[in-house]
Amino acid sequence: MELLERKWILQILHALAGGRARFCALQDSIGELNSVTLSRRLKLLEAQKIVTREVIHELPPWVEYELTEMGVDLIKVIEAIEVWCDTWDTAGAEVAASPVSVS
């Protein structure tokens, strides 16, 4: 959960949900994210085995990123949460100040 709370992680995962992408394509699809932050977040996702990085050795060389099997499973969880939020319209709901016990 700490990983998902970091700024830009969900946007990067969403961008990669469509398939492989080059670094610049990811940056363009996300928008205001600078290249240093994108690089750091991708390294973090790669270290967690959520994203793979492949260097394409052509002229000029480039790098492509793709979700791993774990990353694809994580996208399914995120999508399920989005459906739950849409179903229960939680965007406007207030969070209770105290925990609710379920008996």
Task: Print pLDDT tens along the chain (103 aa).
Answer: 888 889 999 999 999 999 999 999 999 999 889 999 999 999 999 999 999 999 999 999 999 999 999 999 999 999 998 898 888 876 555 544 434 444 4
Judged by phi (left if over 0) then psi (alpha if -120 to 50, else beta), residue 51 lies in: beta
Query: Domain boundaries in the chain?
Result: 2-88
What's the predicted TM-score (pTM) here? Answer: 0.79
Which pLDDT belongs to residue 93?
Answer: 54
Protein fold of 2-88:
Arc Repressor Mutant, subunit A (1.10.10)
- Name 44's Cβ contacts closer than 8 Å, sequence gap at least 6: 3, 6, 9
